[in-house]
Amino acid sequence: MTQGARTADSMWTRLGRVLSGSPPVARLHTSLLRHPRIAKGRGMAHEGWSRVLDVCYPLIVLVRGTHRGATQLGSWWIGASREKRRLQTVIVLTCLIGVGVLKYGPLLLAGAFLAAVTWLGRDTSRKGADPESPEHIARLQAIYNGLVPYLQNGDDPDQHFKPGGRYRDAFTAWQFDEQDRLIRLRMDYSEYFRDGEPDSRSKVERALEGKIGHANEFLYAWDEEGNHLDVRILPPLPEGVSAQPWPVADIEFVLGVTDPGSASRLIPVLVADPGAGAPARDADPATREKVPPGFSMAQLAPVIWRLGAPGPNPHLLLAGAPASGKSTAVRSLLGQVLARGHAVAVIDTDQTAQYGALAGQRNVVRVTEDPADSLELLDWFGLEAERRAERTPAATARGDGASNFEWPAAVRADSPAGAGSDLDSAVPAEPPLWLFVDNLPELCAAAQRLGRPDPQDTLAALARKARFAGTTLVVTLRTDQVQAMRPALRNQLTTRVALGRVDPVSSTLLFGGTLELGGAQVMPPGRGYVRVGSGPVIRLQTPYAPALAPSAV
């Protein structure tokens, strides 16, 4: 083909592509295809051609068998040696002549020929066969059958899910890994399914988790516009991460680690090898760069909680079931706060003495377990936040950096002689102030017994003021107690962490809807979900923090 011919061909190709893609031509093509007479004629032609093929099928088989036999004979003739061809030809001709001279020999030869070409001409294609292995077919069909009660709809013309249906009626894509584990599944469902309701979604997700395996963690991507559901089985998060110095900015706090695709960066993290204990903590920062035996450095994705004055998400709500790792998460955050010289007050309503090691430590305002003292500390914190909120604009206008921060009298009374002056001299500038309220419902119950107002109202007002006062509020409670929490307070705690399994109602209150993540039936301590502000809900593994002393961070 000459250059001019190639150019012309390319020109005509481009012209045809442009015409076929233009809206008028596309509409004309669609109207012709959907014209009743054309559609009827096309259907009649297709039916007539199918009948012709059915009538001529024996002849087609014979012709196809003869062609295949001739092809195989030609291949043998080309590949065999001359002596072998002569010998086998003589033997075959002798047999044919010997049979042909018999009384019914010609009929036997004709029958043998027809049988041979019929066998060779049979349809060897596996049009109706499933290319998947029997094990995969059984697993996919079991998942399909488990979803039928939840996704079946008699009004659906496509009937994606129906009793006795095949998994290929609904599943459009799936993937197995090297260990023969299902790691991805995509399906179509009826447009009449209520995919916008949390309860309907939750039932389907729980059915999938039961059929695929409760030991896995899932990511659900609901496409409500296209009526598709994409399910991914997520790899496990690393569990051998303990509290350690994190290479982040001063206004950033690490809540834990997550999937690499859910974070904007990776940081080096000290990870324990299987069977290793907690790493030894050294006071000398230079020795921290050395990797202790039984540990290794890994690049992991951190969950960053970024604070500032004023910050968009200055307060944290931590919910979790018993033994889900709430205390470990609080200790990890406490260690980071104290290591940066921030002031801390802790209300331990459970009276477990797990924060007793903080008493008397540098920058620790107060650790209280008594309900009356806790309410007094809460009142003082509210006044301090109000003072800071009023002082910040004036100090900014004057350029005054001096501190008017005063430690509460309870701290001075509990501290040794001279400790108050050390505290004042240790804080030349006003430090950020943190309040940790562990198990808020117990504090509310204690306030009701003492005839005091509900602390949730005080905390809600405090959270609004603290946004502009450099103060941070951290509240913990059980997951089943989220429903009893007042919306005025819950709406102020915009950074939310849920450890362990989360029911649909609590998930809606915490994250604004059902989780697009599904957890394993038994989740390790510290495993859960987090949402910072209006961001997406992502997986979280909090670090293990056994010690509370600031020097151990």
| Residue 320 assigned as binding residue | yes
* The residue type at 173: A
* Structure token pair of residue 527: 């495993």
Give the whole-angstrom CA distance, residue 181 versus residue 475: 40
Give the whole-angstrom CA distance, residue 433 versus residue 377: 13
Give the whole-angstrom CA distance, residue 434 versus residue 470: 9
| Residue 22 assigned as binding residue | no
Closest of 346, 351, 344, 318 to residue 446, by C-alpha: 351
| Residue 323 assigned as binding residue | yes
* Structure token pair of residue 112: 């043998």
- Residue found by looking up tokens 């913990």 in the block: 476
| Residue 321 assigned as binding residue | yes
Q: What is the CA radius of gyration of the chain?
A: 37
Whether 537 contacts 259, CB under 8 Å? no
| Residue 324 assigned as binding residue | yes
- Residue found by looking up tokens 């834990």 in the block: 256
186: exposed, middle or buried (C-beta count within 10 Å: 0-12, 13-18, 19+)?
middle
- Residue found by looking up tokens 């299987």 in the block: 274
Give the whole-angstrom CA distance, residue 177 versus residue 185: 12
Half-sphere exposure of 19 (CA within 13 A, CB side): 8
DSSP single-letter state for residue 260: G
Half-sphere exposure of 284 (CA within 13 A, CB side): 4
Binding residues are 320-327
Binding residues for ATP are 320-327
